[in-house]
Each structure stands twice: as structure tokens, then as C-alpha cells.
Structure 1
């Protein structure tokens, strides 16, 4: 009887878990963004000093508890040789965050090409559900000579439209200072919960 009651209690108290991919070119600020999420939502988590963050080889994974559910973030390496692995994660993800270095105007065309590949994956790879929310973060908005959010929207909105993304957004952030991080996470969390009728969460 005790084991039955324990099993029922554990089942009732399971929380929904959503997997979120953090994508972007190398040096866009993906890992810094994830570290600031940890600082904001898990104050006791082990964090990397921002000045010691190095390019991600493989992946960084961290789970936070927010409201009544969990968000599991997958920070994937952004070097050109690692981007081919991104599509392997599409099938099980519930949302995508694409981080852009707003100060690197020379690589904005490369950003566009990578977004097009995600669009192509949605057309050729059954695992990417086009109902999932997609959030683009215009990082490094504190750099004087930067692309404005409106400029980045021009690139992103066309691709989001082609992808048929039902929920998409461009938000400004300054990852090194933590500015905009909470707004980004909360925007995404609302959309993940709203979309669970299309993309079921896991339970943990």
C-alpha cells in the first residue's frame, strides 16, 4: 500500500520538461547567455566566470525550474564543422533560440545561410516540428557600431515566414550583463506551454 501511494504521489508531482536548443555561430554569445540563465534561475548552480568562457566543443546542458515546469537548455557548438550536428537534435526539441552577434556585420550573411539550413531541414527532415516557437536574440546590443534589432528582424522574419513558424520573435539582449535574459526565457516559456498540444513535453 505504501509503494502504491508513493507511486501515485510521484506521478502526481511530475513536472513537464521542455528541451530548448540554443543555436548560433561561434562567438555569438550562446554560452554566456546560458551562464546568465543559470545565474538568474539557479543561484546555487556551478557557473563559469564570464571571462573564462571558451568556444563550446560539443554541447553544454543545463535545466532550470520555472513556474510549474522545467526548461532543459542545449547550448550547441557553433563552429562550422559542428553545425551539421544541429539537425540531430531537432526531433526532440520543443523550441529554438538563435543567438546573433549584432556587432559582427561581416558574418550576418553567414547567419542567414545557417537559418536557411534550418528552414531546409524543416522541409527535408521530419523531426523539426514547425509549430515550435523560435526566438532570435540580437546579442551585444551595447556595442556602438551594431546592427539594430529592426535590421535583424528583416532577415529573420522572412525566414520565420518560410518556416511557417507560428510563434517567433526577435529580442535584444546584452548577455555579458544579463540584460534581456529573463525576458527571453519568460517569453519562450509562455510559448512552450501554449504549444504543448502540438509538441508534448516529457515528464520528470
Structure 2
């Protein structure tokens, strides 16, 4: 995975990466408010979700928290893990990981993706339940 290609998403970007024997297709959806109404259309067909926030943008942190709903998330800085701690009960029995990462260096990105691949492979025959995606 070429980490130098990671940028802020505006709109929709689609890409694939190979992780071991798994091929992942990413639908990289922007977080703009006008796009959030489309997110659930993608959840229904997804085996996993990575929710990325920019913890350096304090003004949008509360907006990100409001948009966060039942997702795997990768956070940009370790000290904001607690910002989403009250969301844990909403996740229930689904697999969830808070993975600190840094967009500038790529630290933590591969670890989070590898963890998600293991979860998807383990649960590949278990389809998403409607209550998990709404």
C-alpha cells in the first residue's frame, strides 16, 4: 500500500489493495455532511468499515463523533481514544478496534488494515444483519 497516496477525501474514491491472500476493495467516502446520507448505501454491501478522523481539527471532532455509528475506526492520534469511548456500547458484539495512526508517516495504518482483514476472513460467511447497518 502506497501511503504517500493517502489524502483527504472529497467525494468518492475507489481502490483495491492486496493484503496477503485477501483483496480489499475500498470505497473511500468523504465526510462532508452532504455525502453522509449516502454512507448507509455502502454499509449494506460491506464486510468492514474503517472510520478515520483528523484529531487535529478540533472543530470537526464533535461533528465526527455525531457521524460515528457502529464502525471500526482508525484514529489519527492516541490521546483521543477516550473521545469515542462512550460509543463502545453501540458497537455491541461486533469486532471493533481503535487504531492510532499518523497520515504523515503511515504508522498504524497497515496494522489496522491487517486486523480488519483477519476479522473479515473470520466472519466472511456471516452476512451483515440489518440492525447492524442501520
Query: Shorter chain as normaliser: what TM range?
Result: 0.7 to 0.9
What is the match of residue 131 of structure 2? none
What is the TM-score normalised by the length of structure 2? 0.81
How far the C-alpha of 1:63 sits from its partner, in A, is 1.0
What is the match of residue 10 of structure 2? 56
Number of aligned residue pairs: give it.
128
What is the match of residue 59 of structure 2? 106
What is the TM-score normalised by the length of structure 1? 0.56
Asked if structure 1 preserves the Cα contact closer than 8 Å seen for 2:9 and 2:28, the reply is no
Alignment equivalent of 1:160, drawn from 64, 88, 109: 88
Asked if structure 1 preserves the Cα contact closer than 8 Å seen for 2:75 and 2:98, the reply is yes
Alignment equivalent of 1:137, drawn from 64, 71, 74: 74
Superposed CA RMSD: 2.3
**Structure 2 unaligned blocks of 5 or more:** 129-134
Equivalent runs, 1:1-204 vs 2, <5 Å = 37=1, 39=2, 48=5, 53=7, 55-57=9-11, 59-115=12-68, 118-119=69-70, 134-139=71-76, 141=77, 149-150=78-79, 152-199=80-127
Asked if structure 1 preserves the Cα contact closer than 8 Å seen for 2:95 and 2:119, the reply is yes
Q: Which runs of 4+ in 1 moved over 2 A?
A: 152-158
How far the C-alpha of 1:105 sits from its partner, in A, is 2.0
TM-aligned CA distance change 1:95 to 1:55, over 3 Å: closer
In 1: Cα distance, 2:9 partner to 2:26 partner: 17
How far the C-alpha of 1:155 sits from its partner, in A, is 3.7
How far the C-alpha of 1:82 sits from its partner, in A, is 1.0
Asked if structure 1 preserves the Cα contact closer than 8 Å seen for 2:13 and 2:29, the reply is yes
DSSP-derived class of the 2:39 partner? helix
In 1: Cα distance, 2:35 partner to 2:87 partner: 22
Q: Which of structures 1 and 2 has the bigger CA Rg?
A: 1
DSSP-derived class of the 1:177 partner? coil
